[in-house]
Every structure is written in C-alpha cells, then in structure tokens.
Amino acid sequence: MSGRLRNRVREARLRLGLSQQELAARTGVTRQAIGAIEAGTMAPSAAVALRLARALGCRVEDLFWLDEEPPEIEAEVVTIDPGETEPAPGPTPVRCALARVGGRWVAHPLRGERAFATELVPADGLARPGSSPRRWRVRLLDRPEDLARTVVIAGCSPELSLWARAAETTHPGLRVRRLFANSVTALHLLRQGAVHAAGVHLVDPATGEENAPFARRLLGGQAVVLVHLGVWEEGLVVAPGNPLGVRGVTDLARPGVAIVNREPGAGARLLLEQCLAQAGVPPAAVAGFDREVPGHLEVARAVAGGQADAGVSTASVAAAYGLGFVPLRAVRYDLVVRREYLDEPAVQALLGTLDNRWVRAQLAALGGYDTTRTGEVVAELAG
C-alpha cells in the first residue's frame, strides 16, 4: 500500500521558535532544503530525518508519515448486560476500545460512563510535616530522575486526560499529571508556578478575542505561549431527541425547563452568562442557574440522569453520553505555557506528541473537536 509522504516539520519548528536557517544549522543542511522538506517537495534521507527529529525533540515517525488509509477489521461488539443489544452506529462512527480475546477481535463501545475512567492515582511519595505548613518532607516512591519527567497540566477539558494517556503511550518515560480546574483557576495555578501549563477556553465579551486577554490579565505579565489544542463546539446538552425543543438560551427561561450550571471561573458558565445577556434574559429567570456542578462530565450526567433538562458543555461530551446538543459557539481550546518551561525536556516531549498522528487521530475521533491547527503556537505574550 503506497501513500504520499507527509510531514509536520514546520509546525514543530515554529513551536520551538526556530527559523528555517536555525534548524538548517542544527541539522547540517541548507535553509533551502528545510523549506523544500516542509513544502513536501523533497523527501529527506534517513540521516537527515533522524537529525531533524533530534533537533526538534521528537521521533522521526512524529515528523514524517505515509498518508495511507488505515485497515479495517470486523469485531464482535461487547455489551455490559448480556440481555441487551448495543445500538448500531449511525451516521457518526462510535469510538471503541479493541482487543484480541481468544483469537477474535472484540469491540467495547466507548459510550456514556464507559467513555471515561475514574482510577486510583499512583503516589509518587509519602509526605510528613516539614519546616513550615507550606513545606513538607516527602519520602520518594520512585527515582528522582523518573519523577522529573512529569508534566502537570491544569484544566477542565476531558480531552486533556485522553491526550495525557496517548502521550504517555507514544513517549515511554513521559509522565503527565492532570489537575482538574476550570480555566480561571488553571491560570491562577500557572501564575503560582504550581503547574507547567493551563488549559483554557475563554472569550473576551468586549473584543471577542480568545484566551489571550485572560492570560494577560491573570498572569501578571509573565511571558507565556499559547499552544493550540483544538477548536471545540460548546452548547447546550439536552436529553436525547431534545424532547423539550430547546433551540437556544431563551428557551431556558420557559416554565418547566431546569438547568444545571458550572461554577464561577468556568468557561462554560461565562458562555452561558454572555449568551443570556445578549438575549436579554436575566439569570434569575432560568431555573437552576445557581445549581452548580464542577465539570463537563457532571453536566452530562445530570442531564442523562434526568436531574436537569439542559446545561452547557461540549459536543464531544454530549456525543459520548448519547445526548442531544444545541450548538452555541465554536471556541479555541489552548494550552498556556510559561516560556521558561519550554526548555524542560518533559515539556518538550509532551508538546512534541501533538505532531503524532495517533494522538491527533484520538482527539479528532471525539467529534465536535477540530484538530486542523493542533500544535500551532497561536500567541506569544511578552513578560
């Protein structure tokens, strides 16, 4: 099976802030050769490909691949209850986990609660009181050099967990810890130096600019870069088939409609407040506006369980739970990284996985999540 050679050399180079000439000097080729490789008009030799990967902090297969159609298999669908039949896929494919069991392929549909995992997190150390309430003594349960390959990200997007797992799979030795936090709290943690990066999806109501205004205001002038993870659809999650006929935020004020809301600082709550203000609907007119849950999954669970008729979340979460979705806007989800952390090998390794086709395919498979520009540096804020 043949295919065209594709590459992400340009994206990887720009993410590290390198010019074509600087990359050429690091790899021992001409600037013109770098330009031709990025344009796809020249295929590098094995030696040049290896030097490019080393200079860009990633693997050769992360930079170059053959554009081929993946193979297909037939698998036996597994249901939790033997008496049930799993609904067949509709126009939109269903994400599945696959395994070979007893010589046959079996497929576990990733729907509802099965699309997410709650697991006991392994500990890295055991803490005892230290020199002050903010300084603890920690006995390590792993080697310091292995713990140093940990990247900590704060954010509320379920996609961050998927990215973390995919990155660890493609980059053995890399460790990614995700702290659940809404966008504003994530930026505060970044400002304190408690995390390497913050995931944000915030839109300035005055200018329509995404994420950068909040980073400028909340990070106290720290030098940061904004790396694009994807564009996701945000909107109202409703019951399957939308039985109440909710078409927009004005319908949330109708009698008999109750919502569940996110906490202050969450991008989903800010979106709802902005949309209600634009529609001239006071929050007090919406039943359940003050009923808060701490995350996107909790919104979906409340609607799926009948505890609420609607709530703001994303198209990918709605799809995972088989719920209806009323789009309100598409918003950029960015990773805000302090510039001083970009030189850390673990951070470079994690960001390098955004060029990996498997990682990008996992994000794209969620639905309602555009990965066309994943990995691009969309803004740089000077300190």
Query: Within this chain, do residues 298 and 342 fall inside the same structural domain, yes or no?
Result: yes
Task: Identify whether 381 is part of a domain.
Answer: yes
Q: Do 179 and 232 have their domain in common?
A: yes
Q: Is residue 154 part of a domain?
A: yes
pLDDT value for 286: 97
Q: Cα(13)–Cα(22) distance, rounded to whole angstroms?
A: 9
Nearest Cα to 236, choosing from 367, 331, 326, 329? 326
101 and 25 fall within a common domain: no
Residues 153 and 84 in one domain: no
Per DSSP bridges, beta strands 377-381 and 125-132 are unpaired
Domain identity same for 97 and 33: no
- Secondary structure E strands in 89-124: 96-101, 104-109
For position 2, what pLDDT does the model report?
56
pTM of the model: 0.74
Determine the pLDDT at residue 3.
Answer: 66
Same domain, 274 and 338: yes
90 plus 9 within the same structural domain:
no
Which of the listed residues 43, 67, 91 is the one where a domain comes to its end? 67
Per-residue model confidence (pLDDT) at position 126: 83
CATH number at residue 351: 3.40.190.290
Position 119 in a domain: no
Q: Model confidence over 80-96: pLDDT tens digits? A: 666 677 778 877 788 77
Answer whether residue 158 is part of any domain: yes
Closest alpha carbon to 317 in 117, 93, 116, 88 = 116
**29 and 85 housed in the same domain:** no
Task: Assess if residue 230 is contained within a domain.
Answer: yes
If you search the block for the tokens 């106290």, which residue do you land on? Answer: 220
274: nearest Cα among 234, 244, 229, 325 = 234
Domain co-membership, 95 together with 165: no
Tell me which residue of 148, 146, 144, 176 sits closest to 351, measured CA to CA: 176
Contact of 177 with 163, CB cutoff 8 Å: no
Q: Token digits for 236? A: 């109202």
Let me know if residue 124 belongs to a domain.
no
Question: Is residue 353 domain-shared with residue 373, that is, in the same domain?
Answer: yes
Q: How does 38-71 read in b/e, with b if 16+ C-beta sit within 10 Å?
A: beeeeebeeebbebbbebbbbbeebbbbeeeeee
| 162 and 82 part of one domain | no
Domain boundary among 87, 109, 131: 109
User: Looking at the 3D structure of the chain, how many domains does it have?
Assistant: 3
Q: Is the same domain home to 312 and 360? A: yes
Pairing label, strands 224-238, 310-314 = antiparallel
- Domain span at residue 237? 145-383
Residue 1 has a pLDDT of 45
In a domain, 136, yes or no: no
Q: Which of 117, 116, 374, 96 is nearest to 232 (CA)?
A: 374
Q: Which residue has the tokens 């986990």?
A: 97
The enclosing domain of 38 has a CATH number of: 1.10.260.40
- In this prediction, the residues of the chain whose per-residue pLDDT falls under 50 are 1
